[in-house]
Amino acid sequence: MSIYKIKLQQFEGPLDLLLFFIKRDEIDIYDIPISKITKDFFDYLNIIKQLDLEIAGDFILMASTLMQIKVKMLLPREIDEKGEEIDPRDELVKALLEYKRYKEMSEELVLLESDTMKLNFRGYNKEDPKENPPEFDTLLKNITIFDLIKAFRTVLEEKKSEPVHKINKINVSIEEQVNFLMSKVADGTPVLFINLIRDMKEKIRIIVTFIAMLELVKMGRIGIKESESFNDFIIYSAEING
């Protein structure tokens, strides 16, 4: 089996994933349930490693940090110079708060830049959108990469392993699945991710299709937005509906 590696410059890091959990579960950032968040983190880490994303190393490092904190939470608390107990989660909380502030400021700057670019100054020549496809983040409407992985994980869990007596090599490529996805949205009609992979019996085909989808978003050819289903999302043609 070939190894499919994907590099997404805008892919969120481990702190983003923790903030995703905190927002999703309405967790108090100052009182993080470390056992639960560590379990959730490892569940997502397994999917990230399976997709062979180049940023997996950062997630593995964070997983190690969470495990250390989890162990310290089971031990008697250390006492600081003031005689107060030291919470093992303090450094993580500080890092999350600092990153959250940085991310919010970055988002504000992006919005400001977007508003500025809408102004047409004298001598301004509008560029061909095909030569400058939309940025990856702009094609994820009200949805994060972790929402996508959540849906992807749900699909894989539904594909229960069956007894295999004969192993057949499954030939599937990213290029093949890119063409498959584009054919499904060619007429401009949005489609649900679950419906696209419903008839796929092999996990490797689902994995390659998911990677092909991310590549198409990166290329600005398709976009993704929320669906009514909690564990699904909608794929649409950015070339037609962009």
pLDDT for 37-50, tens place per residue?
999 898 888 877 77
- Does residue 174 register a pLDDT over 90? no
Specify the CATH number of the domain 135-163+170-242: 1.10.10.580
State if pTM tops 0.95.
Answer: no
Is 5 a residue whose pLDDT tops 50? no
| Predicted pLDDT at 69 | 93
In total, the chain counts a number of residues equal to: 242
Q: Give the Cα separation of 152 and 129 in Å (integer).
A: 30
Q: And the tokens for 78?
A: 């250390």
Residues of the chain with CATH 1.10.10.580: 135-163+170-242
Q: How far apart are CA 160 and CA 58, in angstroms?
A: 30
| Structure-model confidence comparison of residues 103 and 55, the more confident one | 103
Which residues, 6+ apart, have CB-to-CB distance to 161 below 8 Å? none
- In which residue are the tokens 């110079």 written? 81
Amino acid at 66: L
Look at residue 88 in the predicted model and tell me its pLDDT: 93
Alpha helices in 121-190, H assignment, sequence order = 145-158, 174-184
Output the CA torsion 178→184→189→190 (10° steps).
Answer: -60
**How many CA atoms does the CB half-sphere of 211 hold within 13 Å?**
24
pLDDT of the residue at 7:
46
- Arithmetic mean of pLDDT over the chain: 77
Residue type, 18: L
pLDDT at 3: 40
pLDDT(67) > 90: yes
**What is the per-residue pLDDT across 188-197, written as a single tens digit (0 to 9) for each?**
889 998 888 8
pLDDT confidence of 133, banded at 50, 70, 90? Answer: low
| Tens digit of each residue's pLDDT (9 = 90 or more) over 140-171 | 666 777 777 777 777 777 765 555 545 555 57
229 with 194: CB under 8 angstroms?
yes
Q: Which of 110-114, 177-181, 227-231, 238-242 ranks highest by mean pLDDT? A: 177-181
Q: How confident is the model over 108-130, as a mean pLDDT?
A: 56
